[in-house]
Amino acid sequence: MEITQIWNSLVVEPLMHLLSANSAVIYSLKPSATDPNGPFQLTFVSENLSQVLGYSPSECLSNHEWWPQSVHPEDREKLQNVHKKESITL
C-alpha cells in the first residue's frame, strides 16, 4: 500500500467524515494574496454546507465573492475588520 493511500485511509477519510457529520459548517479562510487588508478568501468548506445552507461547497469555493456576500449585513463590518484582530465573534 502506498503512503498516500495509508494517509488517506487513516487521516483524510476519518477527518472528512468528522467534518461532514458535524452539525456546524466548518470552513477556513485566508487573507487575500494581493491585498493584506482586503477580503479573506474561502479555502475550505465542509460538505454539510448543502444540508445546512443549501449551497454546494464547490459553488462557494469557485465564487470568491460568495463569502462576503453571504455574511449577514449586520456582521459585514466585523468581518471587514477581522484582519486587525486575532479573533472575532459573529
What is the DSSP track for 29-58? EE--SS-TTS--EEEEE-TTHHHHTS--HH
**For the segment 32-82, what is each residue's pLDDT rounded down to a tens digit?**
777 766 667 888 888 889 988 899 999 999 988 887 788 888 887 777 666
**For the segment 18-30, what is each residue's pLDDT rounded down to a tens digit?**
877 778 888 888 8
Q: Is the pTM value of this prediction over 0.85? A: no
For 88: left if phi > 0, alpha if psi spans -120 to 50, otherwise beta; the answer is: beta
pLDDT at 68: 76
